Amino acid sequence: MLIEIAYAGICHSDIHTVQGDWGKVPYPLTVGHEIVGTVAEVGAEVTLHSVGDRVGVGCMVNSCRECDNCKAGQQQYCLQGNTGTYAAVDRDGTVTQGGYSTHVVVVEDFVLRVPESIPYEAAAPLLCAGITTYSPLAHWNAGPGKRVAVVGMGGLGHMAVKIAHAMGAEVTVLSQTLGKKDDGLRMGADHYYATSDASTFEALANTFDLIINTVSAKVDLNAYLGLLRLDGTLVNVGAPPEPLPVGVFTLFGNRRSFAGSSIGSIGETQEMLDFCAERGIAPEVELINADQVNEAWSRVLSSDVRYRFVIDIATLN
Ligand SMILES: [Zn+2]
Ligand SMILES: [Zn+2]
């Protein structure tokens, strides 16, 4: 189906990709995998969406549909590799192009319904930042009685705080400084600590059931693992390009686990959108014009964004 794009979020992955941090770039390339818009045209066999529907597209636009993981409805973990929304070779051999654009064509079952109650201009970041944090929170059962820590208060981190709070967990933010403390508490955090203060790691030792690390840079994982209580899990959703060492003895203590999580399935992404609509949760966005993208990218790199840039695609025309 053809989607007329209204808004596209700016994700750190867009920058990593264009910089070649994650491998060779198939230029010419249009990035962007937080896309919302309206259905402009549908093919004869499309049944899930109609012209005029408000829809979204996230980080993947296809998968093999035949492997064990696809059959289990976990397309993001497709064993042949899911087809990324941009910079990937699609099943028909073309290189996929993302959302910093007026239109995109996507097969219907990789298109999400975006409820009208989610503010249109704020909906786009749910398609990556929202699902990337919702999926591990749901999988590791964040909820009443669970202590959840969120590392980093950026695009992903602020969504993790809102979602974990809405799920009923006790939420702690671990950020480099206390600069965004008021925002964090307003979004639903119960506690807020600075990781630049070494006493934080002593004070919070053996505390959390679940830690969501959203930071895409090198951090001392062993220091964070030490904050997990019995059977706690540290889940990385940030994607630093270099390997990070994990001390096995740190895992022995409290029977800790270290895990990764990658976006979420199509079904779970729809569940997340409906959850956010029901609970009145939306990303906090700074709307920009198309000619401000370069400036926005350098502000993302210096962590100077509250909390996600969204491009108003109407300014692209
Ligand atoms: Zn992303
Ligand atoms: Zn597959």
Q: Which runs of consecutive H residues, i.e. helices, occur in 12-146? A: 12-19, 68-71, 120-123, 129-139
Of the ligands numbered here, which is closest to the C-alpha atom of 154? 1
For residue 96, the model assigns a pLDDT of 97
Of the ligands numbered here, which is closest to the C-alpha atom of 16? 1
At 122-170, the pLDDT tens digits run 999 999 999 999 999 999 999 999 999 999 999 999 999 999 999 999 9
Q: What's the CA-to-centroid distance between 221 and ligand 1, angstroms?
A: 22
Integer Cα distance of 160 and 153 in angstroms: 9
Q: Which domains does the chain have, with CATH numbers?
A: 2-128+264-316 (3.90.180.10), 131-260 (3.40.50.720)
Q: What's the CA-to-centroid distance between 62 and ligand 2, angstroms?
A: 9
For residues 58-68, give the mean pLDDT.
97
Residues less than 5 Å from ion ligand 2, measured at CB: 63-64, 67, 70, 78
For residue 63, the model assigns a pLDDT of 97
Q: What's the CA-to-centroid distance between 9 and ligand 2, angstroms?
A: 27
At 273-297, the pLDDT tens digits run 999 999 999 999 999 999 999 999 9
Q: What's the CA-to-centroid distance between 78 and ligand 2, angstroms?
A: 4
Integer Cα distance of 128 and 172 in angstroms: 22
CB atoms within 10 A of CB 51: 12
For residue 239, the model assigns a pLDDT of 85
Q: Please say whether the beta carbons of 263 and 239 come within 8 A.
A: no
Q: What's the CA-to-centroid distance between 114 and ligand 1, angstroms?
A: 18
At 176-223, the pLDDT tens digits run 999 999 999 999 999 999 999 999 999 999 999 999 999 988 999 999
pLDDT at 173 over 90: yes
For residues 261-269, give the mean pLDDT.
98
Q: What's the CA-to-centroid distance between 84 and ligand 2, angstroms?
A: 13
Q: Please say whether the beta carbons of 149 and 227 come within 8 A.
A: yes
